[in-house]
Amino acid sequence: MHEEIYNDMFDIELFRRKIKDIGLFEEIFFFDETISTNIAANEISNSGNAIVISDYQSSGKGRFDRKWESEKGENLTFTLKLKIDIPKERKSTVNFFFSYCIFSGIINFIKKYYWDIDTSPLNIKWPNDILWLDKKICGLLIETKSVSNEFIIGVGINVNQIEFDPAFNATSLTCMLKDNLSREILLHSVIEQIEAHFSLLDIKNYNGIFRLWRNSTKMIGNSCLYSIDGNTANTCKIIDLNDDGSIELMINNAQARYYSGDIKLFVKQ
């Protein structure tokens, strides 16, 4: 990759040096292999904010308990464990915030090291997938501990993997950029964006966070298949995205809000 050394194994010491001036996260945990970084994060008893990274997770999960396909040593699989003071009715803001910051971190990484690449194909799909055109590059799985206001934000970014099961409709950054990428530098770019924008959560600028997220989507007006259970799908049109975390759909000439489910876009964005 341009100006940086590509490592086929995640260099945790390089990553530690890169983020040494970022004070948001107090501890970094690294595993060569774990069942799931979310499970590992839940088992950590420290009370501070932490990053949990694994070079490979054997049973990573996405939404609807779907398996997250990831080859060993090729991608970024990590979990952010943070306490965030946020009202219960605004919990959807956590989703907006982290999906936007990860999106922004990927954008900044490309613009810095691959400045001749057009980043406009990158976009966020409701509720928190990151796509290149219509193919998935990143997904989040967020768990909440309401009593302690602790959030477990699991993230998977397809970085250097080349082949994917067609059923997943996925791609990777290396497929798009035609180069092997430094996962350490990419993760540093993501953490930088979280640190840079965290004051928006501190000052409770929830509307501002939502606008950043919504402006990073390209879904409104598109036709799609919508499924509430991951199986039965309805053809519909996306009318709007709302700050309570819902999506507004037109199904069979009836407009309604939905707070969970899955969508598959018909056309490339």
What's the average model confidence in pLDDT over 152-166? 95
Question: What does the pLDDT average to over 94-106?
Answer: 98
Provide the CA 222 distance to its chain's centre, in angstroms. Answer: 22
Q: In the chain, which segments carry CATH 2.30.30.100?
A: 223-265
φ and ψ at 176, to 5 degrees? -80, -40
For residue range 40-79, list pLDDT tens digits in order.
999 987 778 999 999 998 865 655 556 656 788 999 999 9
> Confidence class of residue 100 from pLDDT cuts 50, 70 and 90?
very high
**Measured distance CA(122)–CA(157) in Å, rounded:** 13
The ranges of the chain annotated as CATH 3.30.930.10 are 12-214
Q: Which residues have C-beta within 8 Å of that of residue 187, sequence separation ≥ 6?
A: 15, 53, 76, 78
* Section 117-138 average pLDDT: 95
pLDDT tops 90 at residue 217: yes
Helix axes 92-113, 206-214, angle to 10 degrees: 50
Fold of 223-265: SH3 type barrels. (2.30.30)
- Determine the 3-state secondary structure of 83 from DSSP: strand
Residue 90 has pLDDT above 60, yes or no: yes
Which residues neighbour 252 within 8 Å (Cβ) at sequence distance 6 or greater? 234
Give the DSSP per-residue string, 126-181.
TTTEEEETTEEEEEEEEEEETTTTEEEEEEEE--S-----GGG-B--HHHHHTS--
Give all strands of the β-sheet with 135-145 in edge-to-edge order.
Answer: 27-31, 50-54, 76-83, 150-157, 135-145, 129-132, 122-125
Q: What is 12-214's CATH topology?
A: BirA Bifunctional Protein; domain 2 (3.30.930)
Residue 2 has pLDDT above 70, yes or no: no
